[in-house]
Amino acid sequence: SEGVSQMSITAEIVWFVGFVVFDLLVWVGAWYFFAKVVRHGPDMQAEVVHQSENIPLGSMMTEKIDHHETILIRPTA
């Protein structure tokens, strides 16, 4: 009939607990990432690349450096 759940009460409780655990993991992961970004701060030594220099940001290549960081480099050609 309409408006009646086809799930048992046990299944609903298990689903809800799983949802809460998943939601908490997402929030913890997001706040951990935000805290990590704030803790490291901006790289004040890096060159600022402006779109107005007629170099589309999408055409810039990436280069791997220490600590598995990716930086943008200017194309040589």
Query: pLDDT digit string (tens) for 46-72?
Result: 777 665 556 555 555 555 455 555 555
Among candidate residues 47, 69, 71, 48, the one with its CA nearest the CA of residue 61: 71
pLDDT for position 15 = 96
Taking alpha carbons only, the member of 2, 8, 31, 29 closest to residue 16 is 8
Q: In the prediction, which pLDDT does 37 show?
A: 85
Name the token pair of 37: 């970004």
Q: Kindly state the average pLDDT of the residues 4-13.
A: 89
* Contacts (Cβ under 8 Å, ≥6 apart) of 75: 55, 59, 60, 61
More confident residue, 27 or 6: 27
Domain layout of the chain by residue ranges = 9-73
Q: Is the pLDDT score of 35 beyond 70? A: yes
Neighbouring C-alpha atoms within 13 Å toward the C-beta of 13: 3
pLDDT reported for residue 16: 96
